[in-house]
Structure 1
Amino acid sequence: MSEASSVHRRLGATDMTLFQRAHDILAAKTNKALDAAEQPDEMLDLSYEQMLDQLTKVRQALVTVAASRKQIELQEQQLQHSADHLEEQAKAALGLGKEDLAREALQRKAAAQTQIDGMESQHQQLNEEQEKLEQTLAALQERVNQFRTQKETLKAQYTAANAEASVNESVAGISSTLGDSGAALQRAQDKIANMQARAGALDELLQSGVLEDVGGDTDDIQKELDEAGSSADVDRELATLKAQIGPASPTPELPAADR
């Protein structure tokens, strides 16, 4: 298999693999399934560098083939020049009547022509190799140009997708925070309402007298009112007893001990 055909086939397969991998990785990143160790933008730049390296190798191969072809051409020219010179020498020898010398010159010319004929097939093969490499180089150069444009487009899409994902995550975090804040606010409002209701109920009970304010002492007025109430009760009970026993009788003396 020729060098140009092998290089062309390897480059074509590698190029298709790089493009497919770039698209697959971008899709995976968009779906948040990309491995964290591999970033699409870095992978695309690496693939582009690999393609440039392949482009350089194809150019080097083309230079090598072209140099070999040129060397064959120079050898052919030298041999052809030698064959032409030997033919002139054979003619000169015959002109001098030296047939043996003329025959020797013609034999050498024939050997040179044999080498020329052998080199012609090599020359033709190198020409074909050079043409294939030139076609491969042109196709690869076009792919590199296309990949460079697509690479920047894919990187822009990745950046946009990454930014959108970050925004969505931020929004989700804000929503969660707002939900927690709302719940905390509602709990605080409920607690305040319960405290206000309890304070109102206690105030009503204190005002109605059901509960006594144990925080302070009874004032003097209240004591006098309590004592007046007690005296009135005693007077009423005494009047009731007098009515029951009739007119007053001498008051019995109390025992000496009681006096």
Structure 2
Amino acid sequence: MGIFSRFTDIINSNINSILDKAEDPAKMVRLIIQEMEDTLVEVRSSSAKTLADKKELTRQVTRFENEAQQWQDKAELALSKDREDLARAALLEKKKSTENSQALVEELVHVESHITKLQDEISQLQEKLADAKARQKAIVIREKTVNSRLKVKQNIDSTKVNDALNRFDHYERKIDDLEAQVESHDLGSKSLSDEIAELESNEKIDDELASLKAKMKKK
């Protein structure tokens, strides 16, 4: 069963609303486009048949108009020969041809009106179809983007990534332990620079202490 029950359903449809309610928007928009294209083929086929009917009606109108003119000429000829009876009969035939022509002209007016409506419907349907195809492209792009993001999320949350991060933590702890061992060996041992710096510091304190003593004696 189709999405749309008739042509007017397509023209009056709200594609956004249909897609919002769909469980699978991508599949739904494909179905919408397929049905629109099928309908467009049907409408164009109907339009082509109506155009053919118009041509046939136009030929018939021309034929009856020509017949009416021929009967007019025959009536004039009969009168010129003093055959009023034949002239009357020719005028009756002319009347029939003229009436047939007028009836076909009226039908032709209706056909032309129908053709105009069909052309308008084709135009509206093409606009709807173009809109649906544009939505399809947007949905395809969104679907690809979402799938890519989902893969990234899945990779980030995967156990492999967590295991790798845990191994990094383990290696960092091992390096911390090694550095701590190196630092423990250095505890209590002084380098030559450290000892000289300590002597210089002690010498400064001794000088400051002597100066303080001298100052106290003066007081």
The separation in 1 between residues aligned to 2:6 and 2:86, in whole angstroms, is 52
Q: Does 1:55 align with 2:11?
A: no
Change (3 A) 1:71 1:10: farther
Quote the residue 1:78 is aligned against.
63
| Secondary structure of 2:158's aligned partner | helix
Q: Does 1:119 align with 2:104?
A: yes
Quote the residue 1:22 is aligned against.
19
Q: Does 1:171 align with 2:156?
A: yes
The separation in 2 between residues aligned to 1:19 and 1:72, in whole angstroms, is 44
Change (3 A) 1:125 1:85: same
Quote the residue 1:227 is aligned against.
none
Contact 2:11 2:128 in 1 (8 A): no
The separation in 2 between residues aligned to 1:161 and 1:10, in whole angstroms, is 32
The separation in 1 between residues aligned to 2:6 and 2:61, in whole angstroms, is 28
Quick one: percent identity of the two aligned structures? 19
Change (3 A) 1:64 1:164: same
Q: Calculate the TM-score normalised by the size of structure 1.
A: 0.56
Quote the residue 1:133 is aligned against.
118
The match for 2:129 among 144, 149, 156 is: 144
Change (3 A) 1:7 1:125: farther
Return the offset for 1:53. Answer: 1.2
Contact 1:7 1:58 in 2 (8 A): no
- Which runs of no fewer than 5 residues in structure 1 stay unpaired? 1-5, 26-33, 187-259
Quote the residue 2:184 is aligned against.
none
Amino acid of the structure 2 residue aligned with 1:41? A
Quote the residue 1:240 is aligned against.
none
| Secondary structure of 1:97's aligned partner | coil
The match for 2:142 among 157, 162, 169 is: 157
The separation in 1 between residues aligned to 2:98 and 2:9, in whole angstroms, is 39
The separation in 1 between residues aligned to 2:53 and 2:6, in whole angstroms, is 18
Larger C-alpha radius of gyration, 1 or 2?
A: 1
Return the offset for 1:18. Answer: 4.5
Quote the residue 2:189 is aligned against.
none
Amino acid of the structure 2 residue aligned with 1:166? K
Quote the residue 2:92 is aligned against.
107
The separation in 2 between residues aligned to 1:47 and 1:103, in whole angstroms, is 65
Q: Calculate the TM-score normalised by the size of structure 2.
A: 0.65
Return the offset for 1:95. Answer: 0.5
Count of residue correspondences: 166
Quote the residue 1:11 is aligned against.
10
Return the offset for 1:91. Answer: 0.5
Q: Deviations over 1:153-189 (max 9, x none)?
A: 12111221232233323433349x738x96xx99xxx
The separation in 2 between residues aligned to 1:166 and 1:41, in whole angstroms, is 19
Tell me how large the CA RMSD over aligned residues is. Answer: 3.0
Structure with the higher helix share, 1 or 2 = 2
Quote the residue 1:69 is aligned against.
54
The separation in 2 between residues aligned to 1:68 and 1:108, in whole angstroms, is 26
The separation in 1 between residues aligned to 2:107 and 2:126, in whole angstroms, is 28
Change (3 A) 1:140 1:97: same
Amino acid of the structure 1 residue aligned with 2:75? A
The separation in 1 between residues aligned to 2:6 and 2:62, in whole angstroms, is 31
Return the offset for 1:145. Answer: 2.2
Contact 2:37 2:129 in 1 (8 A): yes
The match for 2:83 among 92, 98, 101 is: 98
Change (3 A) 1:10 1:116: farther
